[in-house]
Amino acid sequence: MPFLGLTTIFAVIAIVHVIKTGRSQLWIMALLSLPGIGVLAYIIAEVLPEFFGGRTGRSAQRNIGKVLAPNRSLDEAKRDYAISATAKNAIDLADIHVEKGQFAEAAPLYREALSGLNEHNPDTLHKLAASEFGLNNFEKTKSVLDLLIEKNPDYKNQDAHLLYARTQEALGEYTKATEEYEALVKYYTGPEPSYRYGMMLASQGDNLQAQEQFKSVVDKAELSPKFYRDMHREWIKLSKAQLT
């Protein structure tokens, strides 16, 4: 009886799914006449292909792959780089090292890729700067970012701008960092700059303005749609924790 009860429940759920998604009414007949087999067939024929074909499914597949073979992409990138040490292969390998937090391995590869026509490529310079920041090499980070700006004056990248503000803060250049953070909070697409600016202000003893930054993050989140809150959950949560 418990099994039959569960089968009936799953069949009802499947029927609701058929109706909501506009699938063939023949599925309803199959689910009613053969609920157990019908549910299994429906899942295999309709649900799984849709799941694994969509963005969520592809993301799930990637995550499963990372669990089953965590170093597969790294091994493949190392093989490609060993076969042909092109700038692209060096960058691809460095990107994977960064994903794993291996900044010491990534930085030399980015530097190697910065040659020839790619010598002043702004995206690669940004990645190199981020790697140096990850190694706490803040002077090198600033030097790379200054070179990026000098050679690519029209380059626009909000994450590179945020990295520049964080670097100035890390170097103790608080006046300059303040200028950058105040510019960032006006146009950056997420709340990270506001949170980081608030933390810097708090570290400098300016708790009033720090609270204003944290409150602005929380207030915007409350007025924003769910996808925004989900996308920026980390910074919203951290900002709430700082509110007094």
Q: How far apart are CA 118 and CA 89, in angstroms?
A: 13
Is 84 strand, coil or helix?
A: coil
Is pLDDT of 117 > 50?
yes
Are 90 and 110 in contact by the 8 Å Cβ rule? The answer is: yes
Is 156 strand, coil or helix?
A: coil
Whole-structure pTM value? 0.72
Region for residue 172 given its phi and psi (left: phi exceeds 0; alpha: psi -120 to 50; beta: otherwise): left
Percentage of the chain exceeding pLDDT 90: 69
Max mean pLDDT range (27-41, 47-61, 76-90): 76-90
Is pLDDT of 115 > 80?
yes
Q: How far apart are CA 97 and CA 88, in angstroms?
A: 14
With bands split at pLDDT 50, 70 and 90, how would you rate the model's confidence at 41? confident
Q: How far apart are CA 181 and CA 203, in angstroms?
A: 15
Write the DSSP symbol of residue 190. S
With bands split at pLDDT 50, 70 and 90, how would you rate the model's confidence at 102? very high
Q: What is the mean pLDDT of residues 120-141?
A: 98
Instruction: Locate 138 and state its tokens.
Output: 């803040």
pLDDT tens across 52-70, in order?
Answer: 555 545 555 455 455 545 6
What confidence score (pLDDT) does residue 46 get? Answer: 72
